[in-house]
């Protein structure tokens, strides 16, 4: 039985979908005005693993993401670059999906654009107006927060405490916390509505999209921790007011923050890293392994040192996989006296791995059981106490957990790693030659490496 930590109830609960083995999963997608960053990647890799594991357990998962393709950030960026806002959004949407594919995030069934769901958005706003949960002003249509007393239940806050710290820059609003459902605008881009030309609010697009594909209630809603308030609170208020059904979502799941060397990632701090920048220096598998080495709810600190540690851990698994493949092609016995013990070890490892994943998708604990297994089985391999019978079982095990985690452990990457290590060795030797003033030999090494398209530049 899978247990999931529910942000709404603040405890772990047994997972029981609304419709037997069918699972509807929605995760808030990006606002496409720039290249996606590693914070996005952390969230989407985490939910890709969650989706993979649910499928492994026999559930039929429909994974939906929205694409916010109209927003003030998009309009501002388009004005800066002189591009059409919609074309700019399409450009960065394409890049985002390419980045996700590169990172192995391939379980999203549908990316739903906000601009392609205007009829659903308008319909939901009309319902909220007719039920008295929204009102129209000269600047737009707003949700009346005072009509939904449970506002704040996801973040464990109450309206009275929230309003103490709020200001009301829009004098047309009834309450400081009322949020826009429709913004009246006459500058492009805009869309027609019963309230004049304008654009939808940010929160309403998600509930309009999920209601269209899942109905008013569904199983899982995910996103980053920073979206709990006000975004996810607003979603709950909108959908539960529209349908009068509670809860809107059975299980709310949130990923922890990704910091860079202990600080929140920010362009102003100069520690903002896009996925594309990261992948210039590290493979997608290394970053993915870095993400799943931390529990999805925990904060994760990014640094090159920690990334290198993840790389070393990943190479340990690759090395076992490579050894298994090599031994299967060699003259090892079909069976051995150690088979019984090794099958027991493999069975216990599998049980620990699945037990960790069942416990709120605890990937670091699952990986810990795998590393314990590697340490134990390597002893038998080093002492030639391994048979093809066991090797085949290990290979199947690595294939299955690799599919769950989204990393192909059986693909041989050791040659790439060996190349890096050899280049490091050669450059270190060359540096020692330079220190001994053996310039001619050092230059000869640089020239020969250059012929192999390995360029060395000597700088201070």
The span from the CA of 337 to the CA of 341, in Å, is 9
Cβ proximity of 84 and 62 under 8 Å: no
- Residue 356 shares a structural domain with residue 425: no
Question: Residue 171 falls within a domain, yes or no?
Answer: yes
pLDDT, tens digit, for every residue of 210-220? 999 999 999 99
Q: How far apart are CA 435 and CA 349, in angstroms?
A: 50
pLDDT in tens, 268-322: 677 889 999 999 999 999 999 999 999 999 999 999 999 999 999 999 999 999 9
For residue 269, tell me if it sits in a domain: no
Contact 180, 212 (CB under 8 A): no
Q: Give the residue-averaged pLDDT of 168-185.
A: 88
Q: Which residue do the tokens 């993979």 mark?
A: 52
Whether 152 and 301 share a structural domain: no
The DSSP symbol for 116 reads G
Do 209 and 144 belong together in one domain?
yes
Q: In the chain, what's the furthest Cα-to-Cα distance? A: 86
Q: Is residue 456 part of a domain?
A: no
Tens of pLDDT, residues 390-423: 999 999 999 999 999 999 998 755 555 566 678 8
Enclosing domain of residue 368: 284-405
Report the pLDDT value the prediction gives residue 398, as an integer from 0 to 100.
97
Together in a domain, 423 and 390: no
pLDDT tens-digit map of 245-267: 999 999 999 999 999 988 888 76
DSSP character for 19?
A: B
Number of domains in the chain: 3
Q: Is the pLDDT of residue 165 over 60?
A: no
Mean pLDDT of 9-29: 97
pLDDT at 395: 97
At residue 403, the pLDDT reads 97
Q: Do both 249 and 345 map to the same domain? A: no
Q: Residue 413's pLDDT is what?
A: 52
pLDDT at 444 over 80: yes
22 and 62 in contact (C-beta within 8 Å)?
yes
CA distances for 67 relative to 106, 337, 429, angstroms: 16, 57, 51
pTM: 0.88
**Residue length of the chain:** 460
| Strands 179-184 vs 198-200: parallel, antiparallel or unpaired | antiparallel
pLDDT tens for residues 153-162?
999 988 776 6
Output the CA–CA distances (angstroms, integers) from residue 228 to 152, 170, 184, in the order listed. Answer: 9, 23, 26
Give dist(CA 146, CA 265) in Å, integer: 35
Are residues 105 and 9 part of one domain? yes
Whether pLDDT at 456 is above 90: no
């Amino acid at each position: 039985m899978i247990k999931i930590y529910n942000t709404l109830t603040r405890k772990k609960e047994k997972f029981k979908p609304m419709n037997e083995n069918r699972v509807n999963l929605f995760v808030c997608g990006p606002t496409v005005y720039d290249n996606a960053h590693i914070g996005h990647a952390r969230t989407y890799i985490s939910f890709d693993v969650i989706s993979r594991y649910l499928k492994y357990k026999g559930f039929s998962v429909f994974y939906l993401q929205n694409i916010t393709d109209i927003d003030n950030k998009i309009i501002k960026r388009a004005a800066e670059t002189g591009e059409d806002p919609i074309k700019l959004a399409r450009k960065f949407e394409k890049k985002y999906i390419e980045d996700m594919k590169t990172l192995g995030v391939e379980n999203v069934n549908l990316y739903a654009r906000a601009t392609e769901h205007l009829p659903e958005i308008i319909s939901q706003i009309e319902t909220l107006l007719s039920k008295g949960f929204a009102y129209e002003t000269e600047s737009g249509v707003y949700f009346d927060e005072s009509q939904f007393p449970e506002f704040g239940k996801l973040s464990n806050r109450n309206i009275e405490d929230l309003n103490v710290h709020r200001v009301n820059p829009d004098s047309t609003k009834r309450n400081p916390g009322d949020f826009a459902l429709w913004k009246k605008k006459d500058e492009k881009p805009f869309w027609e509505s019963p309230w004049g030309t304008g654009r939808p609010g940010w929160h309403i697009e998600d509930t309009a999209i999920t209601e269209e594909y899942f109905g008013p209630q569904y199983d899982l809603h995910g996103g980053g921790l920073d979206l709990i308030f006000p975004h996810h609170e607003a979603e709950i208020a909108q959908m539960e007011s529209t349908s009068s059904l509670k809860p809107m979502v059975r299980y709310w799941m949130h990923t922890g923050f990704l910091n860079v060397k202990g600080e929140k990632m920010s362009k102003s701090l100069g520690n903002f890293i896009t996925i594309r920048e990261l992948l210039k220096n590290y493979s997608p598998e290394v970053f993915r392994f870095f993400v799943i080495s931390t529990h999805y709810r925990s904060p994760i600190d990014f640094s090159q040192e920690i990334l290198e540690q993840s790389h070393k851990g990943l190479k340990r698994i690759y090395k076992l996989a490579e050894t298994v493949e090599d031994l299967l092609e060699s003259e090892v016995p079909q069976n051995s006296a150690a088979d019984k013990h090794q099958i027991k070890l493999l069975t216990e490892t599998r049980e620990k791995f699945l037990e960790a994943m069942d416990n709120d998708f605890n990937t670091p604990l699952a990986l810990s059981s795998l590393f314990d297994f590697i340490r134990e089985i390597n002893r038998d391999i080093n002492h030639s106490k391994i048979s093809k019978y066991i090797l085949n079982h290990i290979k199947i095990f690595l294939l299955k957990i690799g599919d769950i985690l989204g990393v192909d452990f059986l693909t041989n990457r050791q040659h790439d790693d060996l190349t890096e290590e050899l280049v490091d060795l050669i450059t270190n030797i060359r540096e020692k030659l330079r220190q001994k003033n053996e310039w001619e030999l050092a230059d000869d090494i640089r020239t020969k490496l250059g012929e192999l398209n390995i360029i060395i530049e000597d700088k201070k």
